[in-house]
Amino acid sequence: MSLEVIEISDKHRDLLQRLAELIPDLDPDAPQSLQRIFGLGLIALTLQITNKARAQEQDELVAELGDLAREMVEAEGSDPE
């Protein structure tokens, strides 16, 4: 499946609608908002895996994931427009 076409379940759509009520600049129908949410989800998943790797003393993996997460956060902060 192409990343450009992702089906969203009814439960996820409901969650997006509720978040849009709470976050003024979130538009669940705008690709930019969905991309932002996807990016933040990747960051959260990376942090979760990093914590697990740290607990298992996988220092090399922790460093690699930390670098990737840092790059993603920096990319989120930059505005290409």
The per-residue pLDDT for range 22-69, each reduced to its tens digit, is: 888 888 888 888 888 888 888 888 888 888 988 999 999 989 888 887
Say yes or no to pLDDT of 11 above 90: yes
The per-residue pLDDT for range 57-71, each reduced to its tens digit, is: 999 998 988 888 788
**Distance from C-alpha of 31 to C-alpha of 7, rounded to nearest angstrom:** 13
**What single string gives the DSSP state of each residue in the chain?**
--TT-----HHHHHHHHHHHHHSTT--TTSHHHHHHHHHHHHHHHHHHHHHHHHHTT-HHHHHHHHHHHHHHHHHHH----
Give the pTM: 0.63
**Distance from C-alpha of 76 to C-alpha of 50, rounded to nearest angstrom:** 19
Domain boundaries, the chain: 37-76
